[in-house]
Amino acid sequence: MESLSFVAPLAYTLYWFMMYSDASNVLTLGIVSVFGVIAGSAGMALLTRQFRWEGFSGAEDTANHLIGGALMGVGGVTALGCTIGQGMSGVSTLSITSWIAFLSIVGGAVLGVKYQAWRVERSA
């Protein structure tokens, strides 16, 4: 049984690409979901003529996105799940570890918003 998540399936997708010739390597719900989200969002953007390439505004913006992505990846693996797996499914069962993960997610979001506000104030 596998729940819908994107933390581990992204890693499984990379592994699947690296080992695609391995006969024991199978497509799981998570891997197919990753492909579906990418194909579905690209298809909808093309159909509505809203597709466009975007980039970062500079080196600092690129660094902020890389650091944020790394922190989210480490947090997702450390918490053994994401906001859906821990925040909704785990908290609804009153799991103490899910409450810790959920409160950490909220705390990280608050710190991230404060950091963004500080950057805007600093640049003004």
Residues 17 and 37 in one domain: yes
Whether 29 is in a domain gets the answer yes
Residues 11 and 31 in one domain: yes
- Contact between 85 and 5 under an 8 Å Cβ cutoff? The reply is yes
pLDDT at 3: 62
Residues 39 and 74 in one domain: no
Whether 54 is in a domain gets the answer no
Number of domains in the chain: 2
Whether 17 is in a domain gets the answer yes
Whether 52 is in a domain gets the answer no
Residues 67 and 101 in one domain: yes
Helix residue spans in the chain (DSSP H): 7-18, 29-47, 59-78, 91-92, 96-123
Residue 107: CB atoms within 10 A of its CB come to 10
- Tokens of residue 116, six digits: 């963004």
Residues 64 and 112 in one domain: yes
pLDDT in tens, the chain (124 residues): 556 677 778 888 888 889 888 888 888 888 898 899 999 999 999 999 999 999 999 998 899 899 988 888 888 778 777 677 777 777 888 888 888 888 888 998 999 999 989 988 998 7
pLDDT at 1: 52
Residues 74 and 36 in one domain: no
Which domain covers residue 106, as residue numbers?
59-123
Whether 2 is in a domain gets the answer no
Residues 71 and 119 in one domain: yes
